Amino acid sequence: GAGVSQTPSNKVTEKGKYVELRCDPISGHTALYWYRQSLGQGPEFLIYFQGTGAADDSGLPNDRFFAVRPEGSVSTLKIQRTERGDSAVYLCASAGGRLATNEQFFGPGTRLTVL
Amino acid sequence: QQQVKQSPQSLIVQKGGISIINCAYENTAFDYFPWYQQFPGKGPALLIAIRPDVSEKKEGRFTISFNKSAKQFSLHIMDSQPGDSATYFCAASRASGAGSYQLTFGKGTKLSVIP
């Protein structure tokens, strides 16, 4: 079946603008994670959803970042008043279904550039 | 505090040789240790994973060796091929109270396999 998809693949915005990044998880996966990967670094955890609820948002860097998953499938990561330091690749991963819940499958990411 | 330390940062191996990447962790509560492979412009892809109740796991040309007492684990790629050229990340996770298996990644190793 289809893997995790993310849109857009690239997003260029100006400092201070608002952006939304979308994640479509693997069908049937109940767990969804967002990570941020800065250049030359490993991904860093942002937020975890189990179903519709944000069960762990301890990785969000500040209150400009917010994520939703209203129907337990698609998730949107929202960033307000973007800053140049927000430039990174934002990765989404899903887990669950018939496999062990801690096997996470990643999407291709959205490359965000804040000018 | 970097919870998962990965070395080397970059590695050049001759075709047919063995590639070895090492990781060390600090949190003894970690109970799942995956390795991910990432090509430029793509998301990380799960290669192989191990739990601390075994010392070694082999899948094809890829082997994880795990030393629980030393809190270290390593990835061995046998008969390395140019197509293996990518960035490799080790990671570790544990179940949180919220049911999250958030991954803590190393900084990555850029592997180049030369013909």
Point out the residue among B45, B98, B103 whose CB comes nearest to the CB of A56.
Answer: B98
Distance in angstroms (rounded) separating the CA atoms of residues B27 and A5: 32
Predicted local distance difference test score (pLDDT) of residue B90: 98
Beta pairing class for B33-38 and B86-93? antiparallel
Of B33, B35, B42, residue with least CA distance to B21: B35
Do the Cβ atoms of A48 and B105 come within 8 Å? no
Q: What is the mean pLDDT of residues B18-47?
A: 95
What pLDDT digit, counting tens, does each position of B56-113 carry? 999 999 999 999 999 999 999 999 999 999 999 999 998 877 778 899 999 999 999 9
Is pLDDT larger for residue B98 or for residue B20? B20
Predicted local distance difference test score (pLDDT) of residue A55: 82
Distance in angstroms (rounded) separating the CA atoms of residues B71 and B67: 6
Contact predicate A64/A78, CB 8 Å: no
Report H helices in chain B.
Answer: none
Predicted local distance difference test score (pLDDT) of residue B2: 66
The length of chain A in residues reads 115
What pLDDT digit, counting tens, does each position of A5-64 carry? 999 999 999 999 999 999 999 998 989 999 999 998 999 999 999 888 888 999 999 999
Residues 6+ apart with CB under 8 A from A98: none
- CA quadruple B23, A109, B110, A39: dihedral positive or negative? negative
What residue in A sits closest to B50 (Cα-Cα)? A103
Residues B21-52 as b/e (b if ≥16 CB within 10 A, e otherwise) read: bbbbbeeeebebbbbbbbeeeebbeebbbbeb
Do the Cβ atoms of A91 and B44 come within 8 Å? yes
Do the Cβ atoms of B43 and A106 come within 8 Å? yes
pLDDT at B5 over 90: yes
pLDDT at A2 over 90: no
Q: What is the largest CA-CA distance in chain B?
A: 48
- Give how far A41 is from chain B: nearest CA, Å: 5
Predicted local distance difference test score (pLDDT) of residue A78: 98
Point out the residue among A33, A103, A109 whose CB comes nearest to the CB of B102.
Answer: A33
∠B89-B110-B86 over CA atoms, to 5°? Answer: 80
Using the structure block, give the residue that is written with the tokens 């941020």: A36
Is pLDDT larger for residue A101 or for residue B34? B34
Q: What is the mean pLDDT of residues A60-75?
A: 94
Tell whether A56 is within 8 A of chain B (Cβ). yes
Q: What is the mean pLDDT of residues B46-56?
A: 94
